[in-house]
């Protein structure tokens, strides 16, 4: 089931320019090459000045690299976006309902729709959360749903990110950059704005504060400047006008949470945390963590503080749970999913394992607990040795893997050394859940910069594009 013909965002099958790209194509044709080259260099130096860098794991300690930014936007017409947004919203509603159910009555397990061991023996399941009520029953306040387009232009969900989804700062900075470099494009198009994301996020976080507070205090909890996403932490805190705190700035007293300020201890009501569950409270999770706050879970249990995203959301975004998400939509909402999963083989199941081993060269195999594109096999791109080695890995622990057909991800023209060429992209819309579910139009478009590569992660050399939803 290999799709060979990628959907091109800009061009139709006959090579004609799609309607929503016409104005842009026109501008491109009429803009001298030197100007484009000069503008690209300007973007580079601006990004460097502002300091948007990304420390890449596995390289020499502390090397900071720019995440490459491509000036050709990914454009989505309004109607398509409306459909996509509706599907994403529906999915996030179902996911939140699932998490709430797992940590309360577990009705979906009793109904036999999801195997209980998948959930309860999952490393991301947090027994500590069982029975704890959270404001509004919302667990994943911020969700990043990774979406791709395949063969005929239909959207699929590749992955849900419900723990500490990142990348929104690039979405915001990319838009700022495009408006600065090419104001004429914004005059020519009617592009839905995204700049209000920080305001939306702050409003959302305040809306889930413990009940009865007129002016809740929100903070952003970061592991510190050595974390690879620190730029985003500092950026968002500054944009929202909230304090950027580390574990050592906080303490629990009388089941309330406080931060240490020059004016004395100040109560904290909502924590937007960019630290994994495991490091949040050394009294309950990893005892050696210095990043968290001892006693935080006690304050949380007593309902004195809201944590966003809630502890334990990982139970819903695990790759082993992913195949059941369409079931969640049916079970909790009584609706058919508007957005489809990528067909997935769960290698824990014998028939799926057999099929996968028989077709390894055509499939993408991922570790259930992996992240960021590591520990993955891309069958069509692998050598014979790599296939053999991976086969052995699968056989040693099949329950650790899932497999999916290689989708021909849609491509979008991108500037490379030889000029403009198609490169594969994906999309991560950011969904905020609080009183309502809101999305900023678009999201982060990631692009694989190597020809033919399907790996878009910035940690492995991917880049980003501005995403335009036309109004």
The kind and range of the H/E element at 176 are helix 168-181
| The only residue of 172, 177, 181, 259 in contact with other proteins, by rule CB under 8 A | 259
- In angstroms, the CA 427 to CA 448 distance is 12
Q: Which stretch binds other proteins (CB under 8 A): 130-138, 326-334, 390-398, 447-455?
A: 130-138
| The only residue of 64, 249, 327, 362 in contact with other proteins, by rule CB under 8 A | 249
Three-state DSSP class for residue 204: helix
Is residue 254 at the binding interface for other proteins, with CB under 8 A as the rule? yes
Around Cβ 358, how many Cβ atoms within 10 Å? 10
For 212-305, strand residue ranges (E) read 218-221, 243-245, 250-253, 256-261, 264-267, 270-273
For 321-418, strand residue ranges (E) read 340-341, 345-346, 363-367, 377-378, 401-405, 411-416
Nearer Cβ to other proteins (264/351): 264
Question: Long-range contacts of range 334-339, CB-CB < 8 Å, 24 or more positions apart?
Answer: 335/90, 337/87, 337/90, 337/91, 338/83, 338/86, 338/87, 338/90, 338/91, 339/84, 339/87, 339/88, 339/90, 339/91, 339/147, 339/155, 339/156, 339/157
Length of the chain counted residue by residue: 471
| The only residue of 63, 83, 130, 190 in contact with other proteins, by rule CB under 8 A | 130
Q: Which stretch binds other proteins (CB under 8 A): 89-97, 247-255, 404-412, 437-445?
A: 247-255
Q: How far is the CB of 306 from other proteins (least distance, A)?
A: 17
- In angstroms, the CA 79 to CA 77 distance is 6
| The only residue of 6, 76, 85, 129 in contact with other proteins, by rule CB under 8 A | 129
User: x/- site string to other proteins, residues 31 to 70, per CB under 8 A?
Assistant: ----------------------------------------
> What order do you get walking across the sheet with 243-245 strand by strand?
243-245, 218-221, 270-273, 306-308
| The only residue of 38, 63, 83, 123 in contact with other proteins, by rule CB under 8 A | 123
Tokens of 455: 């790996």
Contacts of 238 (CB under 8 A, 6+ apart): 244
The alpha-helical segments, DSSP class H, found in 182-311 are 183-188, 197-207, 230-240, 296-301
Distances (CA, A) of 421 to 7, 72, 381: 14, 11, 20
Nearer Cβ to other proteins (290/358): 290
Q: Which stretch binds other proteins (CB under 8 A): 23-31, 267-275, 294-302, 437-445?
A: 294-302
| The only residue of 2, 63, 65, 116 in contact with other proteins, by rule CB under 8 A | 116
Q: How far is the CB of 399 from other proteins (least distance, A)?
A: 13
Give the number of residues in contact with other proteins, rule: CB under 8 A: 43
Is residue 267 at the binding interface for other proteins, with CB under 8 A as the rule? no
Is residue 77 at the binding interface for other proteins, with CB under 8 A as the rule? no
User: x/- site string to other proteins, residues 210 to 239, per CB under 8 A?
Assistant: ---------------x--------x---x-
Nearer Cβ to other proteins (233/366): 233
Is residue 396 at the binding interface for other proteins, with CB under 8 A as the rule? no
Is residue 328 at the binding interface for other proteins, with CB under 8 A as the rule? no
Longest dimension (CA), the chain: 69
Is residue 245 at the binding interface for other proteins, with CB under 8 A as the rule? yes
Is residue 383 at the binding interface for other proteins, with CB under 8 A as the rule? no
Q: Which residues bind other proteins (CB under 8 A)?
A: 106, 116-117, 120-123, 125, 127-132, 225, 234, 238, 243-246, 248-249, 251-255, 259-264, 282-284, 287, 294-295, 298, 301-302
């Amino acid at each position: 089931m290999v799709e060979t013909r990628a959907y091109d965002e800009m061009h139709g099958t006959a090579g004609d320019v799609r309607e929503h790209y016409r104005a842009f194509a026109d501008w491109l044709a009429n803009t001298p090459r030197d100007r484009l080259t000069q503008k690209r260099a300007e973007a580079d130096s601006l990004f460097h000045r502002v300091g948007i860098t990304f420390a890449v794991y596995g390289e020499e300690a502390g090397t900071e690299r720019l995440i490459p930014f491509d000036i050709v936007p990914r454009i989505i017409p309004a109607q398509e976006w409306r459909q996509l947004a509706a599907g994403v919203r529906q999915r996030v509603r179902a996911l939140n309902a699932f998490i709430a159910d797992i940590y309360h009555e577990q009705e979906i397990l009793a109904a036999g729709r999801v195997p209980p061991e998948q959930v309860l023996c999952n490393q991301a399941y947090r027994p500590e959360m069982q029975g704890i009520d959270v404001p509004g029953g919302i667990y994943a306040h911020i969700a990043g749903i990774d979406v791709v387009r395949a063969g005929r232009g239909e959207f699929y969900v590749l992955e849900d990110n419900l723990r500490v989804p990142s990348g929104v700062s690039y979405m915001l900075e990319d838009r700022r950059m495009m408006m600065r470099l090419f104001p004429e494009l914004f005059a020519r198009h009617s592009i839905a704005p995204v700049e209000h994301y920080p305001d939306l996020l702050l409003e959302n976080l305040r809306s889930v504060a413990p009940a009865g507070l007129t002016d809740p205090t929100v903070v952003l909890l970061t592991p510190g400047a050595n974390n690879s996403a620190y730029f985003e932490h500092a950026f968002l805190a500054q944009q929202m006008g909230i304090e950027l705190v580390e574990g050592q700035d906080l303490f629990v007293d009388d089941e309330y949470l406080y931060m240490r300020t020059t004016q004395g201890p100040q109560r904290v009501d909502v924590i937007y945390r960019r630290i994994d569950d495991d490091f949040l409270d050394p009294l309950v999770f990893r005892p050696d963590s210095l990043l968290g706050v001892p006693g935080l879970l006690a304050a949380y249990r007593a309902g004195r503080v809201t944590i966003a995203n809630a502890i334990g959301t990982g139970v819903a975004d695990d790759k082993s749970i992913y195949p059941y998400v369409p079931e969640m939509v049916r079970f909790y909402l009584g609706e058919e999913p508007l957005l489809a999963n990528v067909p997935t083989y769960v290698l824990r199941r014998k028939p799926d394992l057999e099929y996968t081993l028989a077709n390894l060269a055509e499939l993408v195999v991922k570790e259930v607990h992996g992240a960021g594109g590591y520990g993955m096999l891309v069958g069509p791109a692998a050598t014979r040795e790599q296939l053999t080695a991976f086969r052995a890995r699968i056989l040693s622990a099949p329950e650790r893997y899932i497999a999916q057909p290689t989708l021909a991800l849609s491509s979008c023209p991108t500037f490379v050394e030889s000029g403009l060429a198609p490169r594969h992209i994906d999309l991560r819309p950011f969904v905020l859940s609080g009183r309502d579910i809101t999305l900023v139009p678009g999201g982060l478009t990631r692009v694989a910069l190597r020809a033919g590569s399907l790996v878009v992660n910035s940690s492995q050399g991917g880049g980003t594009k501005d995403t335009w939803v036309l109004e």
